Amino acid sequence: MKIALIGYGKMGKEIEQIAVNRGHSIVLTIDITNPEDFTPENLAKADVAIEFTSPGVAVNNYLKCFDAGIPVISGTTGWLKQRELVENTCKEKNGCFFYSSNYSLGVNIFFELNRLLAKMMKGFPQYDVSITEVHHTQKLDAPSGTAISLAEDIISINDSKTNWTIEKQKSKEELSIKPVREGSVPGIHTIKYDSEEDYIEITHSAYSRKGLAFGAVIAAEFSYGKTGIYSMKDILKLV
């Protein structure tokens, strides 16, 4: 499989190493030093694009990939206010779009554990739930896409919460997300149910970017030759 890497920072280089080890070739790399190479002609050389950039440019990158007729695997977070535009354009172009707020196998299992715990805790209103996420100082968006996914899953299950906030919790209906940016932390996400008597806590901690990079390559392999909109649930068969 021939891969275009849109975004060639630390994550892009990690993806490149895993992809090459799995027998794929990198035919195009794009970063801030060579935007002139981001053309339909160059994209057409690839079978699939993997995009890890920043929220401000991600959507335009997806649309370019749809125009070039290649599947795009989205690893960027913080752009979801334009999700309807992206998905509608993908359908109009008969393209393929794969998005996950986190490509780690462990995190996607953690998503399922979070949903299960949220169902269990519905009958115990004395426990108030909150989320803390910790990432490296270079991460541009806050809260993380993973934290937002966790929060939205809790809200969809626990009717005592109506929205999430990164501000100080003003009412019991708000789910507080606390973003922390420090050092070179790859990612830590903690869900805490706190009461006056005790608390219940689940945490996922990433050792490195390798889990994310491996998942992105697997998503690219899955998307090759397909049309439609997909997520990690389609690969892992998680319901």
Provide the residue count of the chain. Answer: 239
| Per-residue confidence (pLDDT) for residue 169, from 0 to 100 | 77
Backbone phi and psi for residue 209, each to the nearest 5 degrees, phi listed first: -80, -5
| Per-residue confidence (pLDDT) for residue 27, from 0 to 100 | 98
Does 135 qualify as catalytic in the annotation? yes
Percent of the chain clearing pLDDT 90 (strictly above):
84
> For residue range 144-198, what is the model confidence (pLDDT) as tens digits?
989 999 999 999 999 889 999 997 778 889 999 999 999 989 899 999 999 999 9
Tell me which of 98 and 144 has the higher pLDDT: 98
Look-up of token digits 């997909």: 230
> For residue range 38-85, what is the model confidence (pLDDT) as tens digits?
999 999 999 999 999 999 999 999 999 999 999 999 999 889 999 999
Does 24 qualify as catalytic in the annotation? no
Catalytic member of 2, 10, 136, 139: 139
Cβ-contact 133, 177 below 8 angstroms: yes
One-letter amino acid at 233 equals: K
Which residues does residue 190 pair with via DSSP β-bridges, in sequence order?
132, 203
Catalytic member of 135, 161, 189, 204: 135
Two tokens, residue 130: 């909150």
Name the pTM for this structure: 0.79
Two tokens, residue 214: 């491996």
| Per-residue confidence (pLDDT) for residue 39, from 0 to 100 | 95
